[in-house]
């Protein structure tokens, strides 16, 4: 999960993602956004697990967006690295369990994410545990 803190609204948590560039498919955009927002281009984009149409305000714009959420499984945790930190209001990242997502006081997007994760079932690495046996990391500031 990425924590965004734009100057014009309260901070919130969101899955990596964004808009389509000219000529891109949704899959192309998912691959590009994963690279730009977390620094990984080696993770296969899995099946689409959710589709929704949303409308929201972003600064002075009204945004109407068709969203598709894809499942991306990582073999282990990694620290997200933003490709263009001066262009993105991303201030942190964290690996969060469903219970940890529910406990956040910031908004979490997409809406219904915890329910979707519960429907998908447990990942290969149990939520709230790391493969190396260490305790989960706290959200951290990214460079």
Long-range contacts of 16-20 (CB under 8 A, 24+ apart): 16/80, 17/67, 17/69, 19/65
Q: CA 45 → CA 33, 37, 69, 72, 103, distances in Å?
A: 11, 15, 10, 5, 28
User: Prior bond to 93 cis, omega within 30?
Assistant: no
Predicted local confidence at residue 35, as pLDDT = 96
Predicted local confidence at residue 76, as pLDDT = 86
pTM score over 0.85: no
Predicted local confidence at residue 126, as pLDDT = 39
pLDDT tens-place string over residues 35-84: 999 999 999 999 999 999 999 988 999 999 999 999 998 888 888 999 99
**pLDDT above 90 coverage of the chain, percent:** 69
The total of other beta-carbon atoms located within 10 Å of residue 50's CB is 16
Q: What is the DSSP string of 2-50?
A: EEE--TTS--EEE-S--PPPTT--HHHHHHHHHHHHHS-SSSPP--EEE
Q: What structural domains and CATH numbers belong to the chain? A: 2-120 (3.90.79.10)
pLDDT tens-place string over residues 117-135: 999 886 544 344 433 343 4
């Amino acid at each position: 999960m990425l924590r965004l803190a734009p100057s014009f609204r309260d901070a919130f948590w969101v899955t990596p993602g964004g808009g389509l560039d000219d000529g891109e498919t949704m899959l192309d955009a998912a691959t590009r956004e994963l690279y730009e927002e977390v620094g990984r281009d080696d993770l296969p984009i899995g099946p689409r697990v959710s589709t929704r149409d949303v409308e929201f305000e972003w600064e002075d714009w009204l945004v109407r967006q068709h969203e598709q959420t894809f499942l991306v499984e990582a073999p282990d945790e990694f620290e997200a690295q933003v490709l263009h930190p001066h262009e993105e209001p991303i201030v942190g990242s964290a690996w969060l369990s469903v219970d940890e997502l529910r406990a956040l006081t910031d908004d979490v997007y997409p809406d219904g994410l915890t329910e979707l994760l519960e429907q998908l079932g447990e990942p290969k690495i149990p939520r709230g545990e790391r493969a190396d046996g260490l305790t989960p990391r706290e959200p951290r500031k990214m460079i």
